[in-house]
């Protein structure tokens, strides 16, 4: 089977020849020309086994899904090795300012200043009129990479609707509102859901999207917030979006770090096709084998080789973690890392990736 056939087959629960492998940050259309010789060595070994995502931009931001045409970059500077970007959002009730920092080596982005810091700011940003982001369109199939028939997946992505509310303000402000103004948060989440639904309607119009990433539910996965907050802010809105994905012929991917024992059943209930990364203790609260038993073949699970193990531990410990990932069965499983490397591969990391791949080659074939 090709990597594409294997990956999509695993998500659909079909019979496949072996468990797919997915290495974050190693998904490249050509598998050539990487600046990191270690990553290139890994791709030379297993690149043909890795899918890549051919992404159709959805332009769904975490500022209440404000149309980008109402946002403008006003300043960009390099400070302490980071790129600091200042963006202004034009609203009918006044300008809001957001400042972000970016480490271009690790592709890490963080917020220096949120656009919403008060109830007045909420009223400002929600006053921006809705219109489709400029450039939103269904897939263009005219110039697909040569490897697409073997390894490519047509893809788009969007944050969970409530994250498009939470992401516009400091996290502590969002948590306080979960306790004091949950009704308002639900109202704003409904607004974001409708905007995301409108965007996806356009992208799905030709029924060519195969796979949709949706992330952010970890922001309220217990103990980050009470269970009822998850049920009210995540469950109904993601369920409606997943139904829209399925109606368009697309598979849904729920990305959620942290403690997922209490919420995996909810992801299954809302119809998700892939749930990952299912981190083991102590970073998560459930082993991969336990998660497989809970899922009982109703959803595909991705996991669960942790980036910190690949970066810091010995090949023997990596082998033990890799073998543990296969415990509990191979059906509806993606063997994958929980994150990609944030720097060039060190000799230790390179040896660890090779040892992990050794285990995959040994254990992944279906019986």
Q: Among residues 42, 57, 52, 62, which one has the least CA distance to residue 20?
A: 52
Q: Among residues 165, 252, 158, 243, which one has the least CA distance to residue 196?
A: 158
Residues 359 and 280 in one domain: yes
- Per the prediction, the chain carries an average pLDDT of 96
Conformation bin of residue 337: beta by default, left when phi > 0, alpha when psi is -120 to 50: beta
- Boundary of a domain, candidates 58, 85, 115: 115
Pair type for strands 94-103 and 108-113: antiparallel
Residues 109 and 184 in one domain: no
Q: Among residues 358, 285, 351, which one has the least CA distance to residue 326?
A: 358
For residue 129, the 8-state DSSP code is: P
Residues 77 and 220 in one domain: no
User: What does the alpha-carbon distance between residue 367 and residue 364 come to, in Å, rounded to a whole number?
Assistant: 9
Q: How many domains does the structure of the chain reveal?
A: 2
Q: Among residues 204, 162, 185, 207, which one has the least CA distance to residue 65?
A: 162
- Boundary of a domain, candidates 97, 115, 133: 115
DSSP-assigned beta bridge partners for residue 252: 212
Residues 95 and 235 in one domain: no
User: What does the alpha-carbon distance between residue 54 and residue 248 come to, in Å, rounded to a whole number?
Assistant: 17
Burial class (CB in 10 A: 0-12, 13-18, 19+), 316: exposed
> What would the two tokens of residue 103 be?
């480490």
Q: Using one digit for the tens of pLDDT, what is the confidence trace for 66-111? A: 999 999 999 999 998 899 999 999 999 999 999 999 987 777 899 9
User: What does the alpha-carbon distance between residue 145 and residue 132 come to, in Å, rounded to a whole number?
Assistant: 28
CATH code at position 14: 3.20.20.210
Residues 85 and 174 in one domain: no
Q: Using one digit for the tens of pLDDT, what is the confidence trace for 28-81? A: 999 998 999 999 999 999 999 999 999 999 999 999 999 999 999 999 999 988
Each residue's pLDDT expressed in tens, for the chain with a length of 367 residues: 999 999 999 999 999 999 999 999 999 999 998 999 999 999 999 999 999 999 999 999 999 999 999 999 999 999 988 999 999 999 999 999 999 999 877 778 999 999 999 999 999 999 999 999 999 999 999 999 999 999 999 999 999 999 999 999 999 999 999 999 999 999 999 999 999 999 999 999 999 999 999 999 999 998 999 999 999 999 999 999 999 999 999 999 999 999 999 999 999 999 999 999 999 999 999 999 999 999 999 999 998 999 999 999 999 999 999 999 999 999 999 999 999 998 899 999 999 999 999 999 999 999 8
Other Cβ atoms closer than 10 A to 99: 14
Residues 214 and 129 in one domain: yes
Q: What is the 3-state secondary structure (H, E, C) of 170-230?
A: CHHHHHHHHHHCHHHHHHHHHHHHHHHHHHHHHHCCCCCCCEEEEECHHHHCCCCCCHHHH
What confidence score (pLDDT) does residue 342 get? 86
What confidence score (pLDDT) does residue 81 get? 86
Q: Which domain holds residue 85?
A: 68-115
What confidence score (pLDDT) does residue 104 get? 79
Torsion of CA 79, 72, 171, 24, to 10 degrees: -70
User: What does the alpha-carbon distance between residue 246 and residue 248 come to, in Å, rounded to a whole number?
Assistant: 5
């Amino acid at each position: 089977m090709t990597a594409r056939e294997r990956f999509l087959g695993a998500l659909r629960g079909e019979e496949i020849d072996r468990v797919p492998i997915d290495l974050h940050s190693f998904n490249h259309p050509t598998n050539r020309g990487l600046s990191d010789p270690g990553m290139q060595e890994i791709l030379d070994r297993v690149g043909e086994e890795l899918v890549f995502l051919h992404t159709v931009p959805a332009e769904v931001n975490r500022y209440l899904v404000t149309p980008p045409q109402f946002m403008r970059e006003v300043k960009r500077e390099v400070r302490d090795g980071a790129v600091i970007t200042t963006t202004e959002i034009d609203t009918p009730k006044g300008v809001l300012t957001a400042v972000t920092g970016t480490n271009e080596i690790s592709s890490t982005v963080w917020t220096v200043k949120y656009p919403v810091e008060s109830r007045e700011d909420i009223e400002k940003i929600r006053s921006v009129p809705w219109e489709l982001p400029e450039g939103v369109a269904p897939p263009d199939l005219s110039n697909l990479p040569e490897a697409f028939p073997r390894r490519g997946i047509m893809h788009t992505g969007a944050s969970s609707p409530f994250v498009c509310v939470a992401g516009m303000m400091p996290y502590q402000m969002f948590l306080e509102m979960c306790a004091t103004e949950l009704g308002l948060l639900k109202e704003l989440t409904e607004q974001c859901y409708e905007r995301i639904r409108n965007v996806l309607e356009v992208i799905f119009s030709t029924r060519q999207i195969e796979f949709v990433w949706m992330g952010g539910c970890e922001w309220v996965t217990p103990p980050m917030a009470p269970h009822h907050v998850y049920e009210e802010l995540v469950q109904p809105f993601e369920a409606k979006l997943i139904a829209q994905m399925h109606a368009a012929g697309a598979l849904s991917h729920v990305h959620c770090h942290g403690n997922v024992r209490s919420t995996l059943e909810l992801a299954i209930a809302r119809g998700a096709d892939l749930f990952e990364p299912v981190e083991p203790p102590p970073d998560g609260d459930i082993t991969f084998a336990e998660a497989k038993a809970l899922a009982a073949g109703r959803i595909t699970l991705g996991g669960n080789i942790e980036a910190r193990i690949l970066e810091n531990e010995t090949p023997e410990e990596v082998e033990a973690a890799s073998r543990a990932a296969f415990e509990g069965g191979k059906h509806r499983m993606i063997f994958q890392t929980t994150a990609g490397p944030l720097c060039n591969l060190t000799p230790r990391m390179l040896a660890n990736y090779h040892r992990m791949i050794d285990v995959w080659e040994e254990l992944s074939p279906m019986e």
